[in-house]
Amino acid sequence: MERHGSFVLQGNIIYTPDKDHFITLKNGYIVVEEGRISAICATKPAAAAALPLKDCRGKLIMPGFADLHLHAPQYIQIGMGMDDQLLDWLNRYTFKEEPKFADPDYARQIYPLLAEELADCGTTSASIFATIHPESTDILCDILAQKGLRTYVGKVNMDNNSAPALTEDTAQSLSDTEAFIKKWHKHPLVKPIITPRFVPSVTAGMMTGLGKLVREYNVPVQSHLSENKGEIQLVKELFPEDQYYMSVYDRFDLFGTTPTLMAHCIHLSEEEIAIMARKDVYAVHCPASNLNLASGLMPLRRMLDAGVKVVLGSDIGGGHTLFIPHEIVRAIEISKIRSIDHPEEAPLKLCEAFYLATKAGGSFFGQTGSLEPDYSADFLVVTLPIFQQDRTIEEQLQYFIYHGRAQDIEDVYVQGRPVKHTDKPAV
Ligand code: GUN
Ligand code: FE
C-alpha cells in the first residue's frame, strides 16, 4: 500500500553534492519515505518490495530548482519597459502595476497563473515578494500552499519615496506585517519573510519596527542591495552617515541577524563582500534582470572566492523567465564576459551554476536541493529526445540546461507529492 509520499523511483540520477562535482547514477534508485529521501542506491533496494516502484529509466532525475528572488505581482509586466534602468522602470511601470493588487479579486486571477508556471518550470522552492497589500498577500500564500510549493512570501513594506498608492502608514504596515507573520509562520511549506522593498522605499522608523519583528519572531529577511548605480547614489543621499548601502540594513538588524537574502549585489567593494561573507548573508544573483535593466555584471567568482553564499533568482519582471535553466546559462555567460576584463575571475562551470540553482538555493529552506539521504523529496523527472539517449548523464543534463524546455519536465515532486504530472509515454 502506498504511504503518503512513499515510493521508489528508478532513473538516471544527477545532482551536485558540492559546487565542483556532479554525481551521476545510471538507472539508480531513489527511495522516498514520507516525503524524504531515505536512500539512493545503484541496485534495487529491499524497500522496493514494500513500496510502489516508478519506472523512469532513461529519464533524468534531478533536484528541483530554487528561485530566491521574484516579484509575484510583476508576473504580468514581464517584458515591459526594458528600455529603462531601475529607478525609471520602477516609477514608469512597476509602481503603476502593483497598486492593482489592492483588489483581492485581481490577485485571485493573477497569482494562480504564477504558481502554475513555477511548478511547470520545475521550481520547487522560491522566495517571493508580494505587494504591500495584506489581503492579496494572504491570497498568494493560500494559492502557493494549495499548489504545494515550498516558499517564503513577503508582505512588502514601503513608506517612503513611492507612488501615493504604494505609500503605507508606518504603524499600519508594521501591524499588518506582524499579523501576516503570526498567520503563516507555523505553516509547513509557505512561510513569512520580512521584506522592506529596498532602502529608498523605507524610513528609519519602518526599519526600526521591522528589526524588532525580526528579533521577536526570528523570521528571515529579504531585500535588494547595490543593484544600480543611481540607486546606490540615492541611498547615499538618504542615509549619508552610513558607510555602505548594507550598513543601513545592518544598523536595523535586517542584515544577517536572521537568514537574509539580498538580491543583485553587483557594485560591491572588497570590504562589503567580506562583510556579506562574515554575516552569512546570501547574495541572490539575477542574471536576466541585471542585463535587461542594464544594472551591471555581478562579480560572482569574487564573491564565491570570498565565501559568500551565492544563489540564483529570476527577479521577474526585471527578469523575463521563470525557467531557471535559462538563468543558469545566463549566469555562466555573464561570468565569461567578466573574465575577459578580469582574467583572475575564472568563468563559472556548469556544475557550479547548477549547484547555485539547487543545493545552495535549497539550503535557505533547510534540507532541499540535493538528492541525498535525509533531503526532502523535491525533484524533477525530465525526458530527453531519443537522439540524446546514448550520451552520458552529464551530457544529457548539459543538453537540458541549454536547450530544454518546461515541457520536458514531466513530473515535479515537493516532499514526495506531485505538483506537476504529465503522462508522457516512455522513450
Ligand atoms: N528594487 C526595488 N524594487 C525593485 C523591483 O521591483 N525590482 C528590481 N529589480 N529591483 C528593485
Ligand atoms: Fe527584485
CB 218 within 8 A of CB 182: no
State the distance from the centre of ligand 2 to the C-alpha of 134, rounded, in angstroms: 19
Specify the ligand 1 atom closest to the Cα of 227. Answer: 10
Ligand 1 closest atom vs CA 94? 6
Determine the pLDDT at residue 425.
54
Measured from the alpha carbon of residue 197, the closest ligand is 1
Pocket probe mutation, ligand 1, options 78, 87, 227, max atoms within 8 Å of Cβ: 227
Ligand 1 center to 321 CA (angstroms):
16
pLDDT for the residue numbered 205: 98
First to last CA, the chain: 28
Please tell me the distance between residue 361's alpha carbon and the centre of ligand 1 in angstroms: 20
Question: Looking at ligand 1, which residue's alpha carbon is closest to its atom 8?
Answer: 318
Ligand 1 centroid – CA 105 distance (Å): 24
Cα 139 from Cα 98, distance rounded (Å): 15
Q: Which residues pair with 23 in a beta bridge?
A: 15
How far apart CA 393 and CA 22 sit, in angstroms, is 10
Contact 254, 214 (CB under 8 A): yes
**For residue 157, which ligand has an atom nearest its CA?**
1
Q: What is the reported pLDDT for 427?
A: 45
CA distance linking residue 394 with residue 391, whole number of Å: 8
Instruction: Determine the pLDDT at residue 47.
Output: 78
Q: Which atom of ligand 1 is nearest to the CA of 289?
A: 9
3-state SS track over the chain: CCCCCCEEEEEEEEEEEECCEEEEEEEEEEEEECCEEEEEECCCCHHHHCCCEEEEEEEEEEECEEEEEEEHHHHHHCCCCCCCCHHHHHHHHHHHHHHHHHCHHHHHHHHHHHHHHHHHCCEEEEEEECCCCHHHHHHHHHHHHHHCCEEEEECEECCCCCCHHHCCCHHHHHHHHHHHHHHHCCCCCEEECEEECCHHHCCHHHHHHHHHHHHHHCCCEEEEECCCHHHHHHHHHHCCCCCCHHHHHHHCCCCCCCCEEEEECCCCCHHHHHHHHHHCCEEEECHHHHHHCCCCCCCHHHHHHCCCCEEECCCECCECCCCHHHHHHHHHHHHHHHHHHCCCCCCCCHHHHHHHHHHHHHHHHCCCCCCCCCCECCEEEECCCHHHCCCCHHHHHHHHHHHCCHHHEEEEEECCEEEEECCCCCC
Task: Write out residues with Cβ below 6 Å of ligand 1.
Answer: 71, 86, 90, 94, 197-198, 224, 227, 289, 315, 318
For residues 416 and 427, give the distance between their C-alpha atoms in angstroms, rounded to a whole number. Answer: 23
What pLDDT is stored for residue 221 in this prediction? 99
Ligand 2 midpoint to CA 191 (Å): 19
CA of 141 to the centre of ligand 2 (A): 19
Ligand nearest to the CA of 81: 1
Question: Which ligand 1 atom is at minimum distance from the Cα of 293?
Answer: 9
Ligand nearest to the CA of 289: 1
Domains with residue ranges and CATH for the chain: 7-64+370-421 (2.30.40.10), 65-365 (3.20.20.140)
Task: Give the Cα-Cα-Cα angle 290, 292, 294 (nearest 5 degrees).
Answer: 60
Q: How far is the CA of 161 from the centre of ligand 1 (A)?
A: 13
159 and 173 Cβ atoms separated by less than 8 Å: yes
User: Cα 356 to the chain's mean position, in Å?
Assistant: 10
pLDDT tens profile 245-301: 999 999 999 999 999 999 999 999 999 999 999 999 999 999 999 999 999 999 999
Helix orientation angle between 170-184 and 204-217, rounded to the nearest 10 degrees? 20
> Is residue 292 within 8 Å of residue 82, measured between CB atoms?
yes
The atom of ligand 1 lying closest to the CA of 231 is 1
Taking the CA atoms of 335, 290, 133 and 65 in sequence, report the sign of the dihedral they define. negative
Mutate to test the pocket of ligand 1, among 67, 70, 71 (most ligand atoms within 8 A of CB): 71
Q: Which of 70, 122, 111 is nearest to 312 (CA)?
A: 70
How remote is the CA of residue 167 from the centroid of ligand 2, in Å? 18
Mutate to test the pocket of ligand 1, among 198, 235, 238, 290 (most ligand atoms within 8 A of CB): 198
φ, ψ (nearest 5 deg) of residue 342: -130, 75
From the CA of 94, the nearest ligand is 1
CA of 129 to the centre of ligand 1 (A): 10
Low-confidence ranges of the chain (pLDDT < 50): 1-2, 426-427
Distance in angstroms (rounded) separating the CA atoms of residues 352 and 111: 32
Q: Which residue's entry shows cell 521574484? A: 70
CA distance 228 to 89: 12
CB 36 within 8 A of CB 416: yes
Q: Whose CA is nearest to atom 11 of ligand 1?
A: 224
Please name the amino acid found at residue 146: Q
- Looking at the DSSP assignment, which residues form a beta bridge with residue 96? none
Total number of residues shown for the chain: 427
